């Protein structure tokens, strides 16, 4: 029990500190990397709670894909972040207000369930199996609708940004394969000394 | 681990399944035919919607599936038919608009179908989870559609604005839902309602806050004041067929969802939500009436007009009675035909490169009296002048409000509709009394002609003989209370 | 075997006390696991030079030690004693962190790789997911190295490399899903045990080939070594690295090769199971070594044989060929399982 506690506090501390780092880092790339660290230690907390599936998905989806895209964007976009930062100071009071309201509401919700800890029911079951069974039975309908949402996002992204570039030569494998020797090569007998 | 036994009856969901499958099939078709298949996809889209309407008609009675997450009843069927009309009429009238503005990848129709599907899911939703997912499906499709003319700066701006503000609204809604879940421990409408029926379900502050958040989120989707700021810009910037679509279908869907939330889940909390909706209604009517006065762009004008109409519809919800619910359905059905008709005419003007500015309509009556007459009829109907159908809509709403004891609200509503009538009549004045500028001849496309004449017929027919409409809507709201 | 283990445990508990011993035991296990892995990583470099040398009809390294066996050690000594140059405008801390971020995930994955039913550090029930999750972190080392170097070549190389890794990770993950479907478990031990009758390569042959090609791309190996592309980008994302810091990148790359070869052997080639049951007398770990060794050999063989791909061809192959094919195969596997086993499995 004690070892688990130590590990919990370790991960929890890293999570909170790196979350602070996300907000506080001067360089946006460092911010994203702190975010990644926060994800990772949250995944560790998930494992401690016995939710190893969630942990693996968090690492795979958020660290392996989403945060990488964040990094891409932050590294490639030409945004003046110091400017942005100066602007954001103006919104700081508003941010504190929103944060305080949310905290108060969370407290209200906690007060509503005094002493009743969150029971995850993940103790000894194989939670990958449990999640799979819930998703494909009780929540099949929402699951499928969610997949349609992703499809629309995909269509939208392509439809709004994809352009046929006229000047680029595209490789068309089927035309390449359809080419025969007859189309491409012409054999001629040229008598020696008479060729142009 | 035992697999839970579930009641899955896909037959009940046939309309939704049909839309989803056809949308995906058309997506593949458009991917493989490039632009060549656009015409085919156009017609297939409309045939699909007609088929969906027929399939909807087959169903009867009230049934649920997926553990109550999907509800089909007379109400949802009625609302879905309205949404199908709200989808198919803009598609029918805009074939050449789409071609003319380079929007003719088949994906346009696919995304439109997904938007409608999201609306249908909302109308049939039996829980907050699926309600939210339906809403996101619809909203996401609409964001994309608003920006569809991507080389047009206004359109891109509209899409971006709609997206950013819409995301905030979704966040509010989700936050509200999470509070409801936190208090009641469930997301299904039936679960939440049964918790609220118990003694400990009364008087929770947090729950009241959740209800407010949910109302705010939904209020955004129907562009009710004070969540209306996006509407004028988005209506103006979005391609006109999209504007026509989004001034009807999302409103119908969100209002249908509000019906379920307010009447099925939170009837005991009406002390909280009635005043809020009352406020929304009055503000919307006010902004709709006064905001429209100074507009020079007809799409912006219609945006304010739609804000005003939403205000009237909310009165029906405030009335908190079957008569009010019926009034809302009557109103929204008539609103559909008026709106679609006007947009049909705007698209016809667009064929000449005109039609966004109200001044483009100067002297229309001299050159094309029939066209001007049709436009004037739609405008009178929107203003609520008898014997046109718009009057019936307003009348049934105000009657419900009076019956429910909301007499001041009804009086305010009548006053604002008088103010609002001014700008509708201004358009008529421009057409009839101003001197024409320049030479143009506006013609309707084949589909446009069908849509406009159908709309015109409906607003006269229901204006004079509203019996059928009242009977249908009356039957549809039997489920409530 | 079990008796010896018990003796060790008793001895350890006597020495350290039960709590500390459990920690020490973990450390011992990790060391016992990592030593052979690092040995393999070191010697695959020699194998590479020897194999490619043989294919190009030249002897390869043969001066240091008999047959060149001490060559890797000589290389290591050289790398360690050279100076690590820090570029002036680099982001120093990230610059030094990046090579570690490449190597560490490659080593972390070994925690769930079984060498036999008992010989495994942690038989967690999400083994495959764990490996996929950890291997998706490998991209960070590369993207950070490219950015922290503050050099155009390095940045371009890392962009290419990460796009490539992210793309091929998708198809690599999808090729493993049919295996998971057939096994009904995410534990690698279960995956191997289930292949008693048929190795997975028999029903899932296309998936095996897609897996292998994807991991070649995933490890940035020839013919998909565009991130390095020495004619255009000097050396890609590690252009600015020198001495041991670049050595760590190489170790990460080779550790990944060894890892994915073992994973391929376990998942598709029956792991420690012998090909015929009469060959049972040979220990399983030797079979596993042979199979993984063969896959590593193919890595080298490919490098000596194929010309480099063009970048658009690489992306086309990943997204337009592998992705649909593996998705279709998942569908097909599910369908066949549904028809043969019925709803809900056994």
Question: Over the stretch C93-151, which tens digit does the pLDDT of each residue have?
Answer: 888 888 888 888 888 888 888 888 877 777 777 888 888 888 888 888 888 888 888 88
Segment B238-263 mean pLDDT: 92
Using CB atoms within 10 A of its CB, is residue C339 exposed (0-12), middle (13-18) or buried (19+)? Answer: exposed
Q: What pLDDT does residue A1 have?
A: 54
Q: pLDDT digit string (tens) for B402-453?
A: 998 889 999 999 999 999 888 898 889 988 888 887 777 888 888 889 999 9
Question: Minimal CA–CA distance to B237: which of B157, B140, B305?
Answer: B157
Q: What pLDDT does residue A115 have?
A: 46
Question: Is residue A65 assigned to a domain?
Answer: yes
Distance CA(A151)–CA(B118), nearest Å, equals 13
Interface test with B, best of A109, A112, A133, A142 (most B CBs within 10 A): A142
Interface test with A, best of C98, C133, C321 (most A CBs within 10 A): C133
Other CB atoms closer than 10 Å to residue C56's CB: what's the count? 9
Question: Is residue A112 assigned to a domain?
Answer: no
Distance CA(A74)–CA(C286), nearest Å, equals 48
Residue that terminates a domain, selected from A25, A49, A80? A80
Lowest mean pLDDT among A7-16, A162-171, B208-217: A162-171
Do residue A160 and residue B150 have CB atoms under 8 angstroms apart? yes
Q: Is the pLDDT of residue B464 over 50?
A: yes
Question: Is residue A68 assigned to a domain?
Answer: yes
Question: Is residue A91 assigned to a domain?
Answer: no
Q: What pLDDT does residue C60 have?
A: 83
Q: Are A59 and A2 contained in the same domain? A: yes
Q: What pLDDT does residue B4 have?
A: 53
Distance CA(A86)–CA(A88), nearest Å, equals 5
Q: Tell me the residues of C at the A interface, defined by beta carbons under 8 Å apart.
A: 19, 91, 94, 124-126, 129-130, 132-134, 136-137, 139-140, 143-144, 147, 155, 159, 162, 166, 169, 186, 312-313, 316
Question: Minimal CA–CA distance to C65: which of C81, C82, C43, C37?
Answer: C43
Distance CA(B173)–CA(B170), nearest Å, equals 5
The beta-carbon neighbor of B121 closest among A105, A145, A155 is A145
Q: Looking up tokens 């255009």, which residue turns up?
A: C232
Do residue C125 and residue A126 have CB atoms under 8 angstroms apart? yes
Segment B55-72 mean pLDDT: 88
The per-residue pLDDT of chain B, averaged, comes to: 88
Q: Does B205 touch chain A (CB under 8 A)?
A: yes
Q: Are A65 and A131 contained in the same domain? A: no
State phi, psi for B444 to the nearest 5 degrees: -90, 145
Question: Is residue A164 assigned to a domain?
Answer: no
Q: Does A37 touch chain C (CB under 8 A)?
A: no
Q: Is the pLDDT of residue B224 over 60?
A: yes
Question: Partners of C320 in the beta sheet?
Answer: none
Distance CA(A151)–CA(B362), nearest Å, equals 45
Q: What pLDDT does residue B250 have?
A: 94
State phi, psi for B380 to the nearest 5 degrees: -65, -40
Distance CA(B324)–CA(B312), nearest Å, equals 11
Q: Cite the beta strand spans of C58-178 per DSSP E.
A: none
Question: Is residue A103 assigned to a domain?
Answer: no
Å from C52 to nearest chain A CA?
A: 31
Residue that terminates a domain, selected from A17, A50, A80? A80
CATH number of the domain where residue A5 is located:
1.20.120.1200
Question: Is residue A150 assigned to a domain?
Answer: yes
Segment C270-298 mean pLDDT: 86
The band of B2, judged by pLDDT with boundaries at 50, 70 and 90, is very low
- Chain A CB contacts of B140 under 8 Å are 149, 152-153, 156
Question: Minimal CA–CA distance to B108: which of B90, B123, B120?
Answer: B90
| A-B contacts (CB, under 8 Å) | 83
Q: Are A8 and A73 contained in the same domain? A: yes
Segment A37-45 mean pLDDT: 92
Segment A103-112 mean pLDDT: 75
Please give the tally of structural domains in chain A: 2
Question: Is residue A64 assigned to a domain?
Answer: yes
Domain coverage including residue A150: 121-158
Q: Are A76 and A138 contained in the same domain? A: no
Q: Complex ipTM, two decimals?
A: 0.91
Segment B366-385 mean pLDDT: 90
Selection from B148-152, C227-231, C280-284 with the highest mean pLDDT:
B148-152
Question: Of C69 and B340, which is predicted with more confidence?
Answer: B340
Q: pLDDT digit string (tens) for B284-322?
A: 999 999 988 888 898 999 999 999 999 999 999 998 888
């Amino acid at each position: 029990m004690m070892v688990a506690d130590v590990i919990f506090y370790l991960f929890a501390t890293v999570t909170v500190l790196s979350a602070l780092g996300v907000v506080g880092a001067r360089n946006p790339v460092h911010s994203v990397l702190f975010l990644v660290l926060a994800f990772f230690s949250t995944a560790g907390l998930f494992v401690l709670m016995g939710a190893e599936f969630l942990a693996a998905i968090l690492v795979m989806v958020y660290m392996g894909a989403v945060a990488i895209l964040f990094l891409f964007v932050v590294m490639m976009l030409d945004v003046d972040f110091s400017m942005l930062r100066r602007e954001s100071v103006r919104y700081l009071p508003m941010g504190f207000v929103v944060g305080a309201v949310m905290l108060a509401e969370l407290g209200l919700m906690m007060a509503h369930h005094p002493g009743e800890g969150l029971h995850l029911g993940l103790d000894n079951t194989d939670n990958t199996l449990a999640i799979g069974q819930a998703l494909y039975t009780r929540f099949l309908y929402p699951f499928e609708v969610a997949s349609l949402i992703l499809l629309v996002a995909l269509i939208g992204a392509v439809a709004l940004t994809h352009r046929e570039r006229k000047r680029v030569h595209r490789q068309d494998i089927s035309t390449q394969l359809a080419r025969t020797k007859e189309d491409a090569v012409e054999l001629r007998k040229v008598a020696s000394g008479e060729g142009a | 681990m035992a697999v839970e036994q579930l009641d899955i009856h896909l037959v009940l969901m046939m309309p939704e399944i049909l839309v989803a499958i056809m949308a995906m099939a058309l997506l593949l078709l458009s991917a493989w035919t490039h632009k060549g298949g656009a015409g085919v996809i156009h017609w297939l889209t409309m045939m699909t919607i007609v088929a969906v309407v027929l399939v909807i008609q087959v169903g009867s009675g009230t049934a649920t599936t997926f553990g109550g997450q999907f509800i089909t009843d007379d109400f949802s069927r009625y609302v879905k038919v309205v949404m199908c009309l709200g989808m198919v009429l803009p598609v029918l009238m805009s074939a050449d608009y789409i071609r003319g503005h380079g929007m003719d990848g088949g994906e346009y129709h696919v995304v439109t179908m997904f938007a409608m599907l999201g609306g249908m899911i909302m109308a049939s939703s039996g829980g907050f989870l699926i309600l939210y997912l339906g809403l996101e499906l619809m909203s996401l499709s609409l964001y994309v559609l608003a920006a569809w003319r991507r080389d047009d700066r206004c359109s891109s701006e509209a899409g971006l604005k709609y997206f950013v503000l819409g995301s905030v609204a979704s966040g509010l809604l989700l936050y509200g839902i999470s509070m409801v879940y936190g208090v009641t421990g469930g997301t299904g409408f039936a679960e939440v309602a049964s918790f609220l029926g118990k003694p400990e379900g009364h008087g929770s502050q947090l729950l009241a806050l959740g209800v407010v958040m949910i109302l705010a989120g939904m209020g955004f989707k129907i562009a009710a004041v004070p969540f209306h700021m996006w509407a004028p810009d988005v209506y103006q910037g979005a391609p006109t067929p999209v504007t026509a679509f989004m001034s009807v279908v999302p409103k119908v869907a969100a209002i249908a969802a509000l019906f379920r939330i307010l009447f099925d889940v939170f009837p005991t909390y009406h002390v909280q939500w009635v005043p809020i909706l009352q406020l929304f209604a009055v503000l919307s009517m006010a902004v709709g009436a006064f905001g429209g006065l100074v507009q020079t762009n007809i799409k912006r004008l219609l945006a304010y007009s739609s804000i005003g109409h939403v205000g009237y519809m909310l009165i029906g919800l405030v009335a908190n009675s079957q008569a009010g619910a019926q009034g809302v359905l009557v109103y929204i059905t008539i609103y559909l035909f008026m709106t679609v008709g006007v947009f049909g005419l705007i698209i016809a003007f667009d064929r000449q490169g005109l039609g966004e500015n109200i001044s483009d309509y100067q002297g229309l009556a001299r050159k094309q009296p029939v066209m001007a007459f049709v436009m004037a009829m739609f405008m009178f109907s929107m203003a609520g002048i008898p014997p046109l159908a718009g009057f019936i809509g307003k009348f049934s709403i105000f009657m419900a409000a009076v019956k429910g004891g909301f007499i001041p609200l009804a009086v305010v509503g009548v006053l604002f509709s008088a103010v609002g009538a001014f700008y509708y009549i201004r358009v008529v004045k421009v057409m009839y009394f101003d001197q024409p500028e320049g030479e143009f001849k506006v013609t309707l496309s084949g589909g446009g002609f069908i849509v406009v004449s159908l709309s015109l017929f409906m607003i006269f027919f229901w204006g004079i003989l509203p019996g059928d409409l009242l009977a249908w809507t009356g039957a549809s709201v039997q489920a409530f209370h | 075997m079990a008796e010896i283990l018990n003796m060790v445990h008793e001895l350890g508990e006597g020495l350290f006390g039960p709590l500390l011993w459990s920690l020490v035991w973990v450390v011992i296990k990790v060391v016992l696991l990592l030593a052979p892995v690092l040995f393999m990583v070191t010697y695959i470099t020699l194998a590479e030079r020897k194999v490619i040398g043989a294919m190009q009809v030249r002897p390869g390294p043969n001066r240091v030690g008999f047959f060149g066996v001490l060559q890797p050690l000589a290389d290591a000594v050289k790398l360690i004693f050279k100076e690590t140059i820090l570029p002036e405008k680099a982001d120093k801390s990230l610059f030094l962190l990046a090579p570690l971020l490449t190597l560490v995930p490659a080593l972390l994955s070994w925690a769930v790789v079984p060498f036999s039913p008992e010989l495994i550090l942690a038989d967690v029930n999400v083994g495959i997911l764990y490996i996929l999750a950890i291997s998706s972190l490998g991209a960070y080392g590369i993207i950070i190295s490219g950015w922290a170097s503050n050099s155009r070549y390095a940045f371009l190389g890392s962009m290419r490399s990460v796009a490539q890794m992210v793309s091929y990770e998708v198809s690599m993950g999808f090729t493993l899903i049919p295996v998971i479907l057939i096994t009904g478990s995410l534990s690698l031990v279960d995956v191997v045990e289930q292949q008693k009758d048929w190795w997975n390569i028999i029903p899932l042959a296309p998936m095996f080939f897609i897996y292998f090609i994807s991991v070649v791309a995933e490890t940035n190996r020839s013919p998909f070594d565009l991130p390095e592309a020495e004619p255009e980008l000097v050396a890609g994302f590690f252009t600015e690295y020198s001495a041991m810091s670049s050595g760590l990148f190489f170790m990460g790359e080779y550790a990944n090769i060894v890892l994915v070869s073992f994973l391929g052997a376990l998942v598709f080639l029956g792991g420690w199971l012998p090909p015929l049951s009469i060959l049972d007398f040979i220990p399983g770990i030797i079979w596993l070594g042979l199979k993984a060794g063969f896959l590593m050999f193919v890595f080298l063989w490919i490098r000596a044989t194929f010309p480099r791909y063009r970048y658009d061809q690489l992306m086309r192959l990943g997204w337009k060929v592998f992705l649909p094919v593996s998705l279709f195969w998942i569908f097909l596997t599910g369908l066949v399982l549904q028809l043969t086993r019925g709803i809900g499995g056994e």
